[in-house]
Structure 1
Amino acid sequence: MFVTFDTKIGNKEMFNDFLTSGKGIFSKNQKDVHNTLEEYLLNDEIIDGDAISQDWFPNINSNIFISHSHLDEEYVIAFAGWLKKNFNLNAFIDSCVWGYSNELLKQIDERYCKNHDATYNYEKRNISTSHVHMMLNVALMKMMDKCECIFFMDTPNSLPVADNIKNTESTLSSWIYSEVEMTRYLREKNRKEKVIGIQ
């Protein structure tokens, strides 16, 4: 990471022209999630977490990481299209991997966390959720570190109580909180180490 930006969304109309190209970028970043757990079993009780992280949460080649609320996804997709069209910059839309974590968690829970009466075991569900969320969190942290800069979409959906990014305690999203906090601790690369180029 070289620099971060606190971004506010303006008039929605200014983004509409770029929504189509942004959707093209978004669909390229989406992954086929038809993988099954069988591919990752080391034995009946152990799953290969490294292999899951690499396949389900891939490291996508991007210049910009965009942190945002799911409720602003259409704006963000259009913004990614604008960045690509005007500057030939590739944006990583973080929500493109969140859905995978839910699908992965469902597969794990169906296999390992069900009781005999088809309900879920509370303790096992806590463990499976924490494991999957930690894998996703690490994948997001790696992407943030790799990207040249980070945009935070500062909207009432992402920070409904606060007026600015400095008060992260006001967000209702644990993911936004984590991403904003990460920007405080990720290494800041010397600009000479990596310069955004036109590809």
Structure 2
Amino acid sequence: MYVPPAFREDDPAELARIIRATRLSTLVTATSEGLVATPLPLFLEEGGDGQFVLHGHLAKANPQWKLPALGEAMVIFSGPDAYVTPSWYETKREHGKVVPTWNYVAVHAYGPAEFYEDDARLLDVVRRLTDLHEGGRAAPWAVADAPEPFVRAQLKGIVGLRLPITRLEGKRKMSQNRSAADREGVAAGLLASDRASDREAGALVPREV
């Protein structure tokens, strides 16, 4: 990922927060048959050695897990993003030499993708993913709510994914390269938007001088 110095995000704690906040990521592997990508919900675990590990599962019918990866896999986590119109820039009124852009947050995680079919490990991953995404509901559904034979049968249709992270790339492009007046205009414009995603991005634009 191309990351100019002004947009670099390399704080491990912040990178982990962005990963955990991303509900759906994309697993990408390079194979002899070309690039293969699968959208996946994953969860991040920090091991006792301080290494971060991603966990999840994908359909057994998905050929990605059977195709040997050429090098490391990459997982893409996309954070808040928004279109930025030049109309919000103070510099537009000053000289007009401005163009549209896009603000966004992204993290790319790299590491060896390990796939497995062990029922006990699969059940643990399914339970943990379910608990993670059901946790905020008033009446959360649990894997144990389904009949055990049914759950066991469902596990036969998936394979587990374990990806120990070897390196992380983070990018936070939120108008840091613009003047204070331009950043103020971008933040105000995004925060006034009807789109919730725009307002989320607007809150990340630095407004201090």
| TM-score for both structures, normalised by structure 2 | 0.23
* Structure exhibiting the larger radius of gyration computed from Cα positions: 2
Flag the structure with higher strand content: 2
| TM-score for both structures, normalised by structure 1 | 0.23
Q: Which has the higher contact order (CA 8 A, sep 6+)?
A: 1
